[in-house]
Structure 1
Amino acid sequence: MANEIPPNTPGYTTVSIYDQTYHLRGQDPNHIRQLADLVDSKMRAVAAQGRTVDSLRVAVLAALNLADEVSQISGVDANEGRARAEHLRHMLDEVLEDERKTG
């Protein structure tokens, strides 16, 4: 690809998340790597528990899990957070099902 950023480009940190390579820009490369490792491990845990191989769905479910963890830490009502996550999961299922039908 013409827009591909070469590895080891100054100012960018190369990470791997769910077997995909990303070149991310940020001020703290170690923090970026830690976050990438967290996202990668969460995606792998979601994939291991589910039946889906759709990486987008795995990513969204991992994001919902992480958002739930953040909301619990930040004091947001846990029941409200879980209900919202469940609602979003159902919406995602509907969108993915529609995509499969229209192919």
Structure 2
Amino acid sequence: MAKEIQPNTPGYTTVSIYDQNYHLRGQDPNHIRQLADLVDSKMRAVAAQGRTVDSLRVAVLAALNLADELSQTTVVDSNEGRMRTAHLSRLLDEVLEDDRKTG
């Protein structure tokens, strides 16, 4: 059985996204909270417009909306954009891995 991470564990930031708590690691807790707030608000907006109550479907639709917004932004330095994408991908992998362990 996976060890559950306790709230306030050093190095972790606890956030709530779509009424689920996640304990995330990262260098900047404020940035993690801002990202979590963005994802939470996007999921709630998607849920308010749709008919589905399945949180996975809501998450996928929110991710598609965020990806669309990201694709429409102009990245001045394409290398910076690739590094940012890799960073966001690692954060997503961490969230999914933590979710699998505690799921």
SS in 2 for 1:5: coil
Q: Aligned residue for 2:72?
A: 72
Percent identity between the two aligned chains: 91
Q: What TM-score do you get using the length of structure 1 for normalisation?
A: 0.70
Structure label with greater radius of gyration: 1
Residue segments in structure 1 that go unaligned for 5+ positions in a row: 76-103
Aligned equivalents of 2:45, 2:20: Cα separation in 1: 16
Please list the CA deviations of residues 14-52 of structure 1 after superposition, one character each: whole Å capped at 9, or x if unmatched: 000000000000000000000000000000000000000
TM-aligned CA deviation for residue 2 of structure 1: 4.5
Q: Residues 81-96 of structure 1: matches in 2 within 5 Å?
A: none
Aligned equivalents of 1:54, 1:21: Cα separation in 2: 17
Aligned equivalents of 1:42, 1:70: Cα separation in 2: 13
Aligned equivalents of 1:56, 1:27: Cα separation in 2: 27
TM-aligned CA deviation for residue 74 of structure 1: 3.2
Q: Aligned residue for 2:13?
A: 13
SS in 2 for 1:4: coil
Q: Aligned residue for 2:61?
A: 61
1:51 aligns with 2:46: no
Aligned equivalents of 1:17, 1:65: Cα separation in 2: 16
Number of equivalent positions = 75
TM-aligned CA deviation for residue 3 of structure 1: 1.6
Q: What TM-score do you get using the length of structure 2 for normalisation?
A: 0.70
**Structure 1 segments (4+ residues) deviating >3 Å:** none
Aligned equivalents of 1:41, 1:65: Cα separation in 2: 12
Aligned equivalents of 2:44, 2:15: Cα separation in 1: 15
Matched residue type, 1:72? Q
RMSD between aligned residues: 1.2
